[in-house]
Chain A
Amino acid sequence: MPETNKKSDTSEIESFMTMPDKRGHFGTYGGRFVSETLMGPLEELEQAYNKYKNDPEFIAEYEHDLKHYVGRPSPLYHADRWSKQLGGAQIYLKREDLNHTGAHKINNTVGQALLAKLMGKRRVIAETGAGQHGVATATVAARYGMECIVYMGAEDIQRQAMNVFRMKLLGATVISVEAGSKTLKDALNEAMRDWVTNVDDTFYIIGTVAGPHPYPTMVRDFNAVVGREARKQCLDQAGCLPDALVACVGGGSNAIGLFHPFLDDKGVSIYGVEAAGEGIETGHHAAPLSAGKPGVLHGNRTYLMEDNYGQIIETHCISAGLDYPGVGPEHAWLKDTGRANYVSVTDIEALQAFHDLTRIEGIIPALESSHALAYTAKIAPKMAKDAIIIANLSGRGDKDIHTVAAHEGITL
Chain B
Amino acid sequence: MSRIEACFSALKNNNKKALIPFITAGDPSLDMTVELMHVLTEAGADIIELGVPFSDPMADGPVIQRASERALLNGTNTDDVFNIVKEFRVENESTPIILMGYLNPIEVMGYKNFVEKATNVGVDGLIIVDLPPEESAEFGEVLKPSGIDQIFLISPTTRGERLDRICEVATGFLYYVSLKGVTGSNQLDVKAVDDKLNEIRSKTSLPLGVGFGIKNPQIAEDVGRVSDAVVVGSALVERIAEHSGDGEKMKLEISSFMRSLRTALDNIG
Contact = CB atoms under 8 A, between A and B. Distances in A.
Interface of A: 23, 31-41, 179-180, 185-186, 189, 192-193, 196-197, 199-200, 293-299, 304, 306, 308-312
A179 B65 contact: yes
Contacts of B108: 293, 295, 306, 308-310
Interface residues of B, number: 44
A310 B103 CA distance: 9
Interface string B127-154: 0011110110000000000000000111
24 contacts: A32-B135, A34-B130, A35-B59, A35-B130, A35-B177, A36-B166, A36-B177, A39-B132, A180-B56, A185-B56, A189-B56, A193-B58, A193-B182, A196-B59, A197-B181, A299-B130, A306-B108, A308-B77, A308-B108, A309-B108, A310-B54, A310-B106, A311-B54, A311-B72
Interface string B160-185: 00100010000000000100111001
B131 A37 contact: no
B69 interface: yes
A40 B181 contact: no
Nearest to B138: A28
Contacts of A34: 58-59, 130, 132
Given A196-B181, A309-B105, A180 B132 contact: no
Interface of B: 54-59, 61-62, 65-66, 69, 72, 77-79, 102-109, 129-132, 134-135, 152-159, 162, 166, 177, 180-182, 185
B130 A197 contact: no
Contacts, number: 124
Contacts of A306: 104, 108
B158 A36 contact: yes
Contacts of A37: 59, 153, 155, 157, 177, 180-182
Nearest to A198: B180
B179 to A, nearest CB: 9
A39 B105 contact: no
Contact of A180 (B69, B77, B152, B182): B69
B56 A296 contact: no
Given A31-B135, A32-B135, A299-B130, 16 more contacts: A35-B153, A36-B132, A179-B65, A180-B55, A185-B56, A189-B57, A193-B59, A196-B180, A199-B157, A295-B107, A296-B107, A296-B130, A308-B108, A310-B54, A310-B108, A311-B55
Nearest to A311: B55
A39 B131 CA distance: 11
Contacts of A180: 55-56, 65, 69
Contacts of A310: 54, 78, 104-109
Nearest to A193: B182
Nearest to B129: A35
Nearest to B54: A311
A192 B58 contact: yes
A131 to B, nearest CB: 21
B180 A197 contact: yes
A296 B182 CA distance: 20
Q: What are the 6 tightest A-B residue pairs by CB atom distance, in nearest-first order?
A: A40-B157, A310-B108, A310-B105, A36-B153, A35-B59, A197-B181
Given A192-B58, A196-B182, A295-B107, A36 B155 contact: yes
A179 B61 CA distance: 10
A180 B69 CA distance: 7
A71 B211 CA distance: 50
Given A192-B58, A193-B61, A312-B56, A33 B103 contact: yes
A23 B104 contact: no
A32 B56 contact: no
Contacts of B159: 40
Contacts of A199: 157, 180
Contacts of B166: 36
Q: Which of B56, B106, B134 has the most CB of A within 10 A?
A: B56
